[in-house]
A and B are shown apart, each in its own frame.
Chain A
Amino acid sequence: MIRPEEIKLSSEENGKWGMVIDQDICTGCQACVAACAMENNISFVGEEDSGYGRAMHWIRIERFWEGEYPEVKMTPRQPMLCQQCGHATCEPVCPAFATVHSQAEQLNLQVYNRCVGTRYCANNCPYQVRAFNWRDYQRPEPLSNQLNPDVTVRRMGVMEKCTFCIQRIHKAQDQAKAEGREVQDGEFTTACAQACPASAIVFGRVDNPESLVSQLAHKGHGVKHLEELGTLPNVTYFKGG
């Protein structure tokens, strides 16, 4: 059997930005979900639509029950977000090239204004992390004052998903470039990782062996979800327990 580390990957497949999520210390507090929504101008969809599985969370915290009362347990909380796959299943199926692989950042991009809303990418995403704008969700004034000008506000009929806060990546890169240096590990982070009270989410360069996220990812007990599908996800989970 071929072990994953024995497979020779192109630089594209190796990934650039990655994340490590420690499920053992994730408390399921939803701070990442709220932070993500605030950073990325995610619409709230209201009671009816969220009750029907249309909430637009880019990151969600999964929990399952195990066993029966009184031996019942809650499984370690599982924050699930776009895994920014090296071989993303969402990318080839989009007929309009609205979801494409970024050469520069090695991320799965979603080009909002190219999306025609076939929703094929969401169907084909094994992680089910894509969120569709089922309607033009209302954001009564003056709530729009809070919108982050670095992030496009999406309208009805387009797909969206976690971007690894690409606006922050670019900002940090621009800053570093202006100062004539490389982006330092830990210089910036994604909104979810920044908010997480447990620091259960660590973000950084996986192609840099010195970075915290690489060192954590190679600790050995990390798991990548649905790796058997060959998606080459860039998020590593520590299962905990």
Chain B
Amino acid sequence: MSEQFSRRDFLKLAGVGAATTAILTGCGPASRYVKREPYMQMPEYNYNGQSTYYATTCRECAAGCGLIVRTMQGRALKTEGNANNPLNLGKTCARGQATLHGLYNPDRVTDPVKRTRGSASTTAVDWDAATQVVADALKNNKPEEIAFLMGMAPDHLFDLVTDLANTTGINAPVRFGALGMFESRATLSKAAENLFGEARMPFFDVGGAEVVLSFGANFLETWISPVSYTRGFVGLREAKTKLRGKFIQLEARMSSTAGKADEWLPIRPGTEALVALAIGRLASELRGGPMPRAFSSVDPLDAASKSGIKLEMLEHIAELFSGSHVALAIPGGSALGQSNGLTVAEAVLALNAVADNFGKPGGVYFSPLAPNQTAYQSPASAKEMQDFIQKMADGKFKVLFVHGVNPIFELPASLDFKGALKGVEQVISFATFPDETALESDYVFPDHHGLESWGYQRVITGSNQSVLSGSQPVVSPFYNTRATVDVLVTAAQLAGGAFATALPFKDEVEFLQSKVAPLMSEADGFFSAADLNTFMASFQQYGGWWKLSDGRGVPGTADVLNRNMDGAEAEFAGEGEFFLVPFVSPTLAEAGANKPWLQELPDPTTTVMWNTWVEMNPETAHELGLEDDDVVRITSEAGVLEVPVYRYPAIRPDTIAIPYGQGHTAYGRYAEKRGVNPTDLLVQHFNEAGDLAFAGVKVKIEKTRQEAASFPP
């Protein structure tokens, strides 16, 4: 590739004019190799009053939706969904819309800094020094003493560090995110492995089903890929080719998703496996034939009495599952965050076996693997994080690189990530925001914001097609930040030796091209090109590359029902009288608290803004003498929180629920000192797959004298 070629050549190569007038390719802020032109020959993205549009990938969660960003005169003005991207087909969620409030947030990290851990004051360092720090950290430590902790998204940075680890022997990068923890992703793939022999992310074809039975999966809020599951939900409801689909949700607290269900069944936490098996048994009975081994030991009457769901209702659901309907059962959310979460996942997937929907429209599939992916890569479970933290505390890691994750906030305080950091000599954060973990790091070398970055991201689930979403900078970096890939590549060269050979790239774009280039030879692509530059131009123009065919896998069905399943109730940690259900805030999710407009979106169920609350059945509140806004003290074995009460009519009287997303001690002015973090209450209590049993905690409630501020003018 030539060192520099002009923007016009680039356009010619890309063939933009023919393809679209609106979406431009890698010119503008994205063009590293563009010559600076004189003022009189301004590129069109600088014209007054003319908008230019760039395709990129949303980084607000790990789903990987495609975005089109409207820019004008070098400023990003509005994000829209990328209609080409098969994952979201032009749609976005609220967090995708508010991503600009992250880009132009007044509290970003503006320069690379060095700090004494825990101190707010910093000394700025220049990027040369910063790169040298990284190079020294790589060079001066043994490979096994170097660790990377990264966000959940399987992106190009993850691939780069994985390559680095494979070549040099440093620890393989660990991906973690609170969303993955609350979705129990490890449990889902483990259940698939146990039942079908393949550890993959299942895909539930909600849109094709006639009956959907969801065990706590909040797929219309934040669950794995909410935009695409919402599209599925529309397919379920819209009466185009079939009757309007029925949707039943079982969970102790009516989530926003359950609010859209035809039936919400307040199941007693811990009895989900029992109920799933009982429905399986009743449905099998209705079907006739020999009782499958999986359901043979369960007693539906017992399940009804323990779960608090009427037997008639169980029979009714069983009827839906046994009949001619296309029925689909989804395990998710708090149902999997129990000590027996894996059993729940297996039992619910087994229900699909009764409905015989594997690999059929309206049934369970395996999500397609992304184009440059050979196996599903599950993010780390809480148990794996516990091991990781133990190694940190034991001083096994001398240097820890943190990127794209805020473990001090996202991990339960009881795992004590913050304490374990003391065992790590050098902590280098690549955070764009001064979050809690960046505050406890020795260095913060800020990465660009997602909209200023190159990259790609594998789409885990949500589309029938195999999708690699591509990112490109839509605006020039606003601050003195630098792409982490660039920092690592340069540092590897400086460090020399195995590092230099592992990352023989000039910069991020070259690395990216090396990763994307193999797709040119793949068939069935949305576009193809003979040379790399054209291919990359289209990759940027369309916001990624995807296959045209249905890439979903069909789970093997042979042995699903022919196994013992245990309907024992889950075990709960703690002595309190209330089940605690922490749930991810549908508007904020794990990283939205720093964006003012996300803070000001009303919670879909309670309409609360800017704060945390604890949801409590009005009956319970009455018994405890509590009104709205009274502050209660909630005690678990792990910690204590004080939260204002919200009397929530749709929650079991023995259950309370707290949204996750607030309670930051750092992370910018809009997030700080606002609300509480329910993970402070979570104890080290895991399910069989190693995911945190976040819904397996019992708590005590005490009234305090305080009342939360209500707001007269």
The reply, when asked whether chain A contacts chain B directly with Cβ atoms under 8 A, is yes
Q: How close is A134's CB to chain B, nearest CB, in angstroms?
A: 8
CB-contacts of A48-79 with B (<8 A): 48-52, 55, 57, 60-61, 63, 65, 68-70, 72-74, 77
Q: Which of chain B's residues have a CB closer than 8 A to the CB of A74?
A: 254, 259-260, 605, 650
B75/A52 in contact, CB under 8 A:
no
Q: Which of chain B's residues have a CB closer than 8 A to the CB of A146?
A: 75-77, 100-101, 103-104
> In the complex, A232→B15 CA distance in Å?
49
B597/A73 in contact, CB under 8 A:
no
Nearest first, the 9 A-B pairs at minimum CB distance are A74-B259, A47-B610, A34-B97, A34-B94, A28-B604, A51-B711, A197-B230, A52-B711, A140-B106
Q: Which of chain A's residues have a CB closer than 8 A to the CB of B604?
A: 27-30, 61, 63, 77
- By size class, the interface of chain A is 35 or more
Q: How close is B452's CB to chain A, nearest CB, in angstroms?
A: 12
B600/A38 in contact, CB under 8 A:
no
Q: Which residues of A contact B (CB under 8 A)?
A: 24-25, 27-31, 33-35, 37-39, 44-52, 55, 57, 60-61, 63, 65, 68-70, 72-74, 77, 140-149, 191, 194-200, 240
Q: Which of chain A's residues have a CB closer than 8 A to the CB of B596?
A: 44, 46, 143
A34-B597, A195-B80, A240-B237 are known contacts; what are 6 more A-B pairs with Cβ within 8 Å?
A25-B237, A27-B260, A35-B94, A37-B600, A145-B478, A195-B91
Per a CB cutoff under 8 Å, which of A44, A72, A195 touches B597? A44
Q: How close is A25's CB to chain B, nearest CB, in angstroms?
A: 5
> In the complex, A199→B231 CA distance in Å?
8
Q: How close is B604's CB to chain A, nearest CB, in angstroms?
A: 4
B100/A38 in contact, CB under 8 A:
yes
Known interface pairs A25-B237, A52-B713, A196-B91. Does A33 touch B104 (Cβ–Cβ under 8 Å)? no
Task: Show 23 residue pairs from A and B whose CB-CB distance is below 8 angstroms, ordered by the A residue.
Answer: A24-B244, A25-B233, A29-B93, A30-B586, A31-B93, A38-B79, A38-B597, A50-B609, A51-B611, A61-B602, A69-B618, A69-B650, A74-B259, A77-B260, A140-B106, A142-B104, A142-B106, A145-B104, A145-B478, A195-B81, A197-B88, A198-B234, A200-B234
A73/B264 in contact, CB under 8 A:
yes
Q: How close is A80's CB to chain B, nearest CB, in angstroms?
A: 12
CB-contacts of B694-711 with A (<8 A): 709-711
Q: Which of chain A's residues have a CB closer than 8 A to the CB of B154?
A: none
Interface flags, B675-713, vs A, CB<8A=1, else 0: 000000000000000000000000000000000011111
Q: How close is B80's CB to chain A, nearest CB, in angstroms?
A: 6
Asked if B390 lies at the interface with its beta carbon under 8 angstroms from chain A, I say no
> In the complex, A142→B264 CA distance in Å?
44
A27/B256 in contact, CB under 8 A:
yes
Interface flags, B216-246, vs A, CB<8A=1, else 0: 0000110000110011011001100000100
Asked if B78 lies at the interface with its beta carbon under 8 angstroms from chain A, I say yes
Q: Which of chain A's residues have a CB closer than 8 A to the CB of B96?
A: 31
Q: Which of chain A's residues have a CB closer than 8 A to the CB of B617?
A: 69
Per a CB cutoff under 8 Å, which of A27, A44, A65 touches B233? A27
Closest A residue to B265 by beta carbon equals: A70
Asked if B587 lies at the interface with its beta carbon under 8 angstroms from chain A, I say yes
Per a CB cutoff under 8 Å, which of A68, A69, A143 touches B104? A143
Per a CB cutoff under 8 Å, which of A47, A55, A73, A194 touches B674? A47
B97/A31 in contact, CB under 8 A:
yes
Q: Which of chain B's residues have a CB closer than 8 A to the CB of A57?
A: 602
> In the complex, A27→B228 CA distance in Å?
13
Per a CB cutoff under 8 Å, which of A45, A65, A72, A200 touches B600? A45
Asked if B90 lies at the interface with its beta carbon under 8 angstroms from chain A, I say yes
Known interface pairs A51-B710, A145-B104. Does A197 touch B226 (Cβ–Cβ under 8 Å)? yes
Q: Which of chain A's residues have a CB closer than 8 A to the CB of B500?
A: none
A33/B77 in contact, CB under 8 A:
no
Q: How close is B593's CB to chain A, nearest CB, in angstroms?
A: 12
> In the complex, A63→B597 CA distance in Å?
20
A72/B254 in contact, CB under 8 A:
yes
B90/A194 in contact, CB under 8 A:
yes
> In the complex, A69→B649 CA distance in Å?
6
Known interface pairs A27-B233, A29-B226. Does A44 touch B100 (Cβ–Cβ under 8 Å)? no
A29/B221 in contact, CB under 8 A:
yes
> In the complex, A227→B652 CA distance in Å?
39
A34/B98 in contact, CB under 8 A:
yes
> In the complex, A25→B230 CA distance in Å?
9
> In the complex, A151→B604 CA distance in Å?
27
> In the complex, A143→B257 CA distance in Å?
32
Closest B residue to A50 by beta carbon equals: B609
A31/B94 in contact, CB under 8 A:
yes
> In the complex, A16→B230 CA distance in Å?
30
Closest B residue to A67 by beta carbon equals: B649
B97/A29 in contact, CB under 8 A:
no
Q: How close is A149's CB to chain B, nearest CB, in angstroms?
A: 6
Q: Which of chain B's residues have a CB closer than 8 A to the CB of A35?
A: 92, 94, 97
B92/A31 in contact, CB under 8 A:
yes
Closest A residue to B308 by beta carbon equals: A70
Q: How close is B150's CB to chain A, nearest CB, in angstroms?
A: 27
Asked if B598 lies at the interface with its beta carbon under 8 angstroms from chain A, I say yes
> In the complex, A147→B597 CA distance in Å?
13
- Residue among A45, A51, A146, A240 with the most chain B CB within 10 A? A146
Q: How close is A59's CB to chain B, nearest CB, in angstroms?
A: 11
> In the complex, A33→B100 CA distance in Å?
15
Q: Which of chain B's residues have a CB closer than 8 A to the CB of A194?
A: 80-81, 90
Q: Which of chain B's residues have a CB closer than 8 A to the CB of A140?
A: 106, 669
Q: Which of chain A's residues have a CB closer than 8 A to the CB of B97?
A: 31, 34-35, 37-38, 195
Asked if B619 lies at the interface with its beta carbon under 8 angstroms from chain A, I say yes
Per a CB cutoff under 8 Å, which of A39, A63, A65, A69 touches B619? A69
> In the complex, A150→B606 CA distance in Å?
34
> In the complex, A240→B597 CA distance in Å?
29
CB-contacts of B185-240 with A (<8 A): 220-221, 226-227, 230-231, 233-234, 237-238
Asked if B105 lies at the interface with its beta carbon under 8 angstroms from chain A, I say yes
Per a CB cutoff under 8 Å, which of A38, A68, A70 touches B78? A38
Asked if B599 lies at the interface with its beta carbon under 8 angstroms from chain A, I say yes
Q: Which of chain B's residues have a CB closer than 8 A to the CB of A27?
A: 220, 230, 233, 256-257, 260, 604
A24/B600 in contact, CB under 8 A:
no
Closest B residue to A39 by beta carbon equals: B78
Q: Which of chain A's residues have a CB closer than 8 A to the CB of B244?
A: 24
> In the complex, A73→B221 CA distance in Å?
18
Q: How close is B241's CB to chain A, nearest CB, in angstroms?
A: 16
Asked if B639 lies at the interface with its beta carbon under 8 angstroms from chain A, I say no
Interface flags, B251-262, vs A, CB<8A=1, else 0: 000101101100
Known interface pairs A69-B617, A198-B230. Does A51 touch B610 (Cβ–Cβ under 8 Å)? yes
Q: How close is A215's CB to chain B, nearest CB, in angstroms?
A: 14
Asked if B72 lies at the interface with its beta carbon under 8 angstroms from chain A, I say yes
Q: How close is B160's CB to chain A, nearest CB, in angstroms?
A: 30
> In the complex, A196→B254 CA distance in Å?
22
Q: Which of chain B's residues have a CB closer than 8 A to the CB of A73?
A: 264
B92/A195 in contact, CB under 8 A:
yes
A30/B587 in contact, CB under 8 A:
yes
A34/B598 in contact, CB under 8 A:
yes
Asked if B266 lies at the interface with its beta carbon under 8 angstroms from chain A, I say yes
> In the complex, A24→B247 CA distance in Å?
12
Q: Which of chain A's residues have a CB closer than 8 A to the CB of B598?
A: 34
Per a CB cutoff under 8 Å, which of A55, A197, A240 touches B92? A197
Q: Which of chain A's residues have a CB closer than 8 A to the CB of B105?
A: 143
